[in-house]
Amino acid sequence: MPSKRFSRRQFSSIAGWSALGMPVLSAGSSLADLGKETGLPNRRAFSGFPTGFLWGTATSAYQIEGAINEDGRGPSIWDRFAHTRGTISDHSNADTATDHYYRYREDVQLMKALGAKAYRFSIAWPRVFPEGVGTPNPKGLDFYNRLLDELSANGIEPFATLYHWDLPQALQDRFGGWTSRDTSKAFADYAAHVAKHLSDRVKHFFTINECSRHVPLGHGNGADAPGLKLSHSGLHQVRHNLALGHGLAVQAIRAHGRAGTRVGPAENAVSCIPAIETPENIRAAEIAMRELNAGYLTVMLEGKYTDAFLTQAGNDAPKYPAEDLRIISSPIDFIGLNVYTPDHYVVAADNERGFTLAPFPASFPHMNATWLRPGPEAMYWVPRHVAKLWNVKSIYITENGTSGSDQPAADGTVYDVDRIMYLRNYLTQLQRATSEGVPVLGYFLWSLMDNFEWSDGYEQRFGLYRVDFDTKRRTPKLSASFYRETIARNAVA
Ligand code: GBH
């Protein structure tokens, strides 16, 4: 029985693990032993990641913090939205969420137990500027100061996202939110303030999380806050204003952060995968990748909208002063990529665009969430396309993970072997990328713990740790052991 080889000693001092009866592999134990036993070579010995590769987990403020009325925080568009009837599938909200605001010390220990050396979290704009603009609320930053001190005391490097969709409601009311460039400017002021106060400890900032989702879901079909259903031209303007907000924030961080502060976006790029890996299909996938991200990464990195994008937008194209494009394409230090799923499988075609997007057959599998189709090769192609198309030298995978049904077994453990299957395959593809020289410097697993999954409420669990939302108790799932092993070996376990 392999389980006899599991040693609990090494991790027994860490709260939660041994007490909860989690199977614990000690680093360097079992794989080589298994090899000896079977006479097979231990092929995994060669599947390492580059030295210094950074392993972390990711969360966002509204999804975990709770404490929505504490210490002067103002309301966000997600508070308003979640408290509007019919918006959240389980009729929940994130008023308390995982109670991270009060349990952050315990949560840092959860990270430490994984051996993770980095943590991506987001700062709640409405804690720092309850009205979006104007007088800052010092108690808002106090919370992040406490969190940063705790991370630093535990050897975990902070990566802070400035905006993960929780816009101050006041800006929605006053300016119409991202429909107005006044919000882009307010975002820059907020970024400047945060950089001034936190860049002594935060060396890496992400500007905006996933413009590519905030635009269509928040402003197109109304599935996310602020729940708008804008016209094509309205959507184009929101997209442009977000890109402008990103660029202004980059400049604000340069102007107000300490020397050496690094900044980039965290984008869920529309992922285009060659259906079959031939040179023609790979080229077609690159063309598709550039075109389908024209309003996001392409404009940020090239400083203009593509011809095809403008032709397609026609009269609905965004209106802006020419200098916006220079701001939007302000030089950045890295690209953050959230990679979950293949958006398109691409086949080369003899048409004007040069590619065909294969329709997904009804039989294509999905994980617990129906949108989350497993396609591990996305983890290879997305960073490779980004590095190749725009000569990007530093990439972080800012999110990757899956939800699962995550029912505890009779012994109380969540044996989430579906999540482990998913992660193992994606990480194998990530290792393929790094071994070929694609410059991915780190990986942030979504998510540290179960949390408020936006319009899916608490019905989709993405965590390595299960959260009992009644008691707020955190319990490691089997995938937490998988991730800890992967980090300890710096290779897919
Ligand atoms: C990321 O979004 C987010 O950054 C993070 O906050 C979130 O918790 C995590 O991933 C997991 O979802 O039901 O067909 O309308 C990923 C982008 C946006 C993908 C919402 C799923 C709903 C698709 N997600 N989208 S659909």
Question: Which residue ranges in the chain fall short of pLDDT 70?
Answer: 1-46
Contact between 297 and 239 under an 8 Å Cβ cutoff? The reply is: no
Confidence (pLDDT) at 424: 98
Contacts made by residues 12-15, CB under 8 angstroms, sequence distance 24+? 14/109, 14/112, 14/113, 15/106, 15/109, 15/113
Nearest to 276 by CA among 339, 348, 342: 348
Residues 6+ apart with CB under 8 A from 176: 183
Confidence (pLDDT) at 326: 98
Distance 47 CA to ligand 1 centre (A): 30
Confidence (pLDDT) at 468: 98
Confidence (pLDDT) at 47: 72
Per-residue pLDDT tens digits for 236-282: 999 999 999 999 999 999 999 999 999 999 999 999 999 999 999 99
Contact between 403 and 462 under an 8 Å Cβ cutoff? The reply is: yes
Q: β-strands 344-348, 395-399: how paired?
A: unpaired
**Among the atoms of ligand 1, which is closest to the Cα of residue 221?**
15
- Count the residues in the chain: 493
Nearest to 431 by CA among 384, 386, 464, 391: 384
pTM for this prediction: 0.93
Confidence (pLDDT) at 40: 60
Per-residue pLDDT tens digits for 423-480: 999 999 999 999 999 999 999 999 999 999 999 999 999 999 999 999 999 999 999 9
Nearest alpha carbon, ligand 1 atom 24: 213
Confidence (pLDDT) at 38: 55
Residues 6+ apart with CB under 8 A from 30: 2, 5, 6
End-to-end, the C-alpha distance of the chain in Å comes to 18
Stretch (H or E) spanning 55: strand 54-58
Confidence (pLDDT) at 13: 40
| Residues designated as active site | 210, 399
Residues framing ligand 1 (Cβ under 6 A): 60, 63, 209-210, 213, 217, 223, 268, 338, 340, 371, 399, 446, 453, 462
Distance 17 CA to ligand 1 centre (A): 30
Nearest to 160 by CA among 345, 370, 336: 336
Confidence (pLDDT) at 25: 40
